[in-house]
Chain A
Amino acid sequence: TVPARAASAVPLRPAGGSAYGDQVIIKKNAAMSAGLRCVGVIGPNNAPVHITTFGETENDANAYLHVLHCALDEVELRSAGGGGGASASSSTDQGNGNQTPPGNPGATSGHQTSSSQIQKDPFLGMVFPTEQAKVFAYKTNTRAVFLLVYDDSFVQQESDIKQVFAKIHDAYAEAMSNPFAAPNSRIDSAKFCAEMRGLCTD
């Protein structure tokens, strides 16, 4: 049984969803990470610097590569020109009441500057829905992108997702402060990997 958390109610696993079986560990404060399938950190040059997968695909980093790539395309679209058309189609798609419009002020206000790389809110919201998963994106001012792939059958609160992104951002900043770390190469820090892994069972 799942202990209910005051902030957000986590639905019980769907009866037919035995595919994920015992892999998803839900502890008392884990509501925010329930359903997290994959964390991807993409460096400024669009190459992945870190991928952690949870659940069934625990050791298979490539399982979500396709999803991450598509999500990245969407992120680029959104940050390039406000992405008016693309964002409209994807945010109205889900019947899920928790979805929020992208935080890019360019899209909502209607005026776009051609080089608006500066976004006030790095949280881009849900960028890519597939049949089984939702992808949330967070783009920093240094053009690094964090992607979270959540399982479709779980409901997430936006505030929880933002918290997870905040944690990733802190961990990323620490990993980048290592003098031996290069901005576009794989993140070798054991501490960072451990923190990413801890996101799901947190």
Chain B
Amino acid sequence: RERARAARAATMAARSTRVGGRNPELAGQAAWVATEKVNAELFTLTYGALVRQVLHDCEDRVFEANKKLDEMGHAMGCRLIEDFLAKTNARKCLSFKESAETVALVGFKMFLNLECSLENWNDDETRCDVRFEHLDPFVAFVEVPDRYKSGDDEQSKLKYCQVLCGAARGALESVGVRTECHFVKDALVGDPSEGFVMRLEFTENVEDEYPFED
């Protein structure tokens, strides 16, 4: 942990001298400090009850439940982006890389105090992996029973944190960026030592639609 912190501090120092001076980590930290806090256990238990209820409503059909969680996340993301833009003075992002950094380093930090890092960018800079140090607000105390994590098919495994992916997707869509977002490494249903890694992939820009012909 100490080493990761030191590395982050080094990149932060390097970044602040860049042209434009964008520093998402600092912005995230500042935003987190400024927001009102809620008890973390309350959040965790509420989220757990939510997932339980969704599974119950879908009668244990995991595929449907995953989809439902994603849709709920999407709806939340569309609303959170307004809150985010109002509270932070984020400038317009000029590239997908900036958008991803803003979502992951500022957004996740501000709302959930999640520490993460972006890695594994592809050459186009349209796809990256978001590695979380921990996902405690969602997964503390949680142990997924075997019936939701067995099966070779990825689709038959419960995507417990899908709401987070949906939120990222919804927020980006509201600002005109269509993305694909899912967890590639999920410690709850897979190997616990691998942690949580979310893949964020750019699909297309959403064209602004004008309601009338000019």
Contact = CB atoms under 8 A, between A and B. Distances in A.
Interface of A: 174-175, 177-180, 188-191
Contacts of A177: 41, 44-45, 48, 140-141
Interface of B: 41, 44-45, 47-49, 51-52, 140-145
Contact of A191 (B41, B45, B143): B143
Q: Considering the complex of A and B, which 5 residue pairs feature the smallest CB-CB distances, nearest first?
A: A179-B48, A177-B141, A179-B52, A180-B145, A189-B143
Contacts, number: 31
A188 B45 contact: no
Nearest to B142: A178
A179 B51 CA distance: 8
SS of B interface (majority):
helix
Contacts of A178: 48, 141-143
A180 B52 contact: yes
Contacts of A188: 143, 145
Contacts of A175: 141
Nearest to B45: A177
B200 to A, nearest CB: 26
A191 B141 CA distance: 10
Contacts of B47: 179
Contacts of A174: 141
A174 B142 CA distance: 9
A180 B143 contact: yes
A174 B143 CA distance: 11
